[in-house]
Structure 1
Amino acid sequence: MARHAGPVVQDADFEELVADGAAAPVQGWAFDWLGGRATEERPPWGYARLVAARMAAVDAALDIDTGGGEVLAEVPDPPRLLAATEAWPPNVPVARTNLRPLGASVVAVTPDAPLPFRDASFELVVSRHPVRTDWPEVARVLRPGGTFLSQQIGPGTVRELSEAILGPLPPPAQRHPEAAVDTARAAGLTVVDLREATLRTVFHDIGAVVWFLRKVVWTVPGFTVAAHRPALARLHERIRAEGPFVAHARRFLIEAVR
């Protein structure tokens, strides 16, 4: 998410802001459109920096759920063999464009299908915010001694925003770091690092909320402006009366070795 502060629009009415957020493109996995409209703290471990350092030390690597390839494209010293997978069709051409300078191949995949690679193909597998981690498949494509490094969404991330639109929700049942550790071990991997972070996330206008909910689809499953207009209007009035809306994103970093 963008790191800028302060809204770019203060006096636009609800309809204009909602239309703005509804019309902006959401392909790829960059959040530059939110510049000046929303901010999110960065995790302290510096995922992109960690990925770049590990990529420089291996010969073959894979990025799962690459999005538009934005993080991978920052790698200054890519390995000889570099592949990425993406399951959301609009992201695939974006990723191919972004990763062409690195010589990476981007493979369009079907969600929940096995990875389209041979056993023990990669020394390093990485994944930022995967929809779901298929731990047995990760273990299968890793070479002995290879590493899986992933920054993942934690339980109840931006829950405050979900509840502002949907009302009170039960405690989160998924995406707990402890469950990831157990599943990794069950797949034959050794977890060597686990870190967690809670990150302040601020929305300055309802247009930013609409765009975010269109892009980060698990926040409010099935979100549409038409279906959730009354809740959006209430949140708009709350922002106008009380100031920016604050939620908290949850992330964890997990590293495992085969």
Structure 2
Amino acid sequence: MAAMTSADHPRPTHTGRPYEELVAEAVAAPTDGWDFSWFDGRATEQRPTWGYARLLGERLGRVHSALDLDTGGGEVLNLAPKLPPLMAATEGWPPNVAKATRLLGPRGVVVVASASDAPLPFADDAFDLVTARHPVKAPFPEIARVLRPGGTYFAQHVGPSSVFELVEHFVGPQPQEVRNGRDPQIERAEAEAAGLEIVDLRAERLRIEFYDIGAVVHFLRKVVWMVPGFTAEAYEPQLRALHERMEKEGPFVAHSTRHLIEARKPLT
């Protein structure tokens, strides 16, 4: 999931509009790529303090070869001022593959259609750097395989119970094992089991505010794994109840969790 509008963006103008109008507008909005500009004035999300895009750009400018996993529409990778001579990216959703190819192709990036749970379609020891921003799941054994000795995995991951205030409004309380998924310490252990050495691991909990029900609908249509099978029709009772609550009480507040992880493949 990409970040929505930063928390210091001007507050909304969409409250007070009819439920049907807000939902219809959100249902009609396109959901391809990881451009979250549709949320401007409708939702905000705090940014992690470490500034992933800036750190990513610095690292990409220092290597000869790199691979970006689950690149979405390529928007984050495209922010890098300089890309290495050999730059590849993977993406599993066809609309995003097409969008990333259009955006990144002119910069010499090879975009490969590859499901997130499939083996990486690259040779052993192929890359100096592997990166990912919010991968579906980090395939640490495959990451270790395609990294050259001394190479680095650098990523920002979604953490445990992210935006679960919203998830549980629609699907009810989740069991503890689900809430604990994506725990950074579990991912540390998985990376180490794959033979990687952890260089840095930081985690933060960040405030999200949704200002109108259209923002909620668009978010759940775009970030499809939050409420699998979500449609505005299927979840109309929950949406209407939340709309009425937001009209009376103001923004719906949730919290995302993020962690920065950097791991190195040993030289020997």
Work out whether the TM-score is over 0.5.
Answer: yes
Distance (Å, rounded) in 2 between the aligned partners of 1:93 and 1:22? 22
Deviation at 1:11, TM superposition (A): 2.5
> Which 4+ residue blocks in structure 1 deviate beyond 4 angstroms?
none
Deviation at 1:62, TM superposition (A): 0.4
Distance (Å, rounded) in 1 between the aligned partners of 2:175 and 2:247? 28
2:142 is aligned with 1:137: yes
Question: Helix, strand or coil: the match of 2:233?
Answer: helix
What does 1:29-40 correspond to in 2, within 5 Å?
29-40=34-45
Deviation at 1:101, TM superposition (A): 3.2
Question: Helix, strand or coil: the match of 2:244?
Answer: helix
Residue equivalent to 1:48: 53
* TM-score, with length taken from structure 1: 0.98
2:78 is aligned with 1:73: yes
Distance (Å, rounded) in 2 between the aligned partners of 1:17 and 1:205? 8
Residue 196 of structure 2 aligns with an amino acid whose one-letter code is L
Percent of matched pairs sharing the same residue: 57
Deviation at 1:164, TM superposition (A): 1.6
Residue equivalent to 2:168: 163
Aligned partner of 2:258 among 239, 251, 255: 251
Distance (Å, rounded) in 1 between the aligned partners of 2:50 and 2:206? 12
Residue equivalent to 1:90: 95
Residue equivalent to 2:205: 198
Deviation at 1:100, TM superposition (A): 2.2
Aligned partner of 1:2 among 5, 28, 50: 5
Residue 138 of structure 1 aligns with an amino acid whose one-letter code is I
2:192 is aligned with 1:185: yes
2:71 is aligned with 1:63: no
Residue equivalent to 2:233: 226
Contact 1:60 1:122 in 2 (8 A): yes
Deviation at 1:218, TM superposition (A): 1.8
Residue 251 of structure 1 aligns with an amino acid whose one-letter code is R
Deviation at 1:10, TM superposition (A): 2.3
The 10-residue stretch of structure 1 (11-20 or 182-191) with the greater mean CA deviation from structure 2? 11-20
Aligned partner of 1:13 among 15, 18, 25: 18
Deviations 1:72-130 (A, max 9, x none): 00111110000000001110111011112321010011231110100000000000000
Q: Which runs of 5+ in 1 are unaligned?
A: none
Residue 152 of structure 1 aligns with an amino acid whose one-letter code is H
Contact 1:5 1:37 in 2 (8 A): no
2:222 is aligned with 1:215: yes
Residue 76 of structure 1 aligns with an amino acid whose one-letter code is P
Distance (Å, rounded) in 2 between the aligned partners of 1:27 and 1:98? 13
Give the root-mean-square deviation of aligned CA atoms: 0.9
Distance (Å, rounded) in 1 between the aligned partners of 2:172 and 2:193? 36
Residue equivalent to 1:26: 31
Question: Helix, strand or coil: the match of 1:227?
Answer: coil
Q: Which runs of 5+ in 2 are unaligned?
A: none
Residue equivalent to 1:121: 126
Deviations 1:14-33 (A, max 9, x none): 11111111110010011000
Residue equivalent to 2:243: 236
Distance (Å, rounded) in 1 between the aligned partners of 2:244 and 2:143? 46
Deviations 1:28-73 (A, max 9, x none): 0110000000000000010001110000100000000000001100
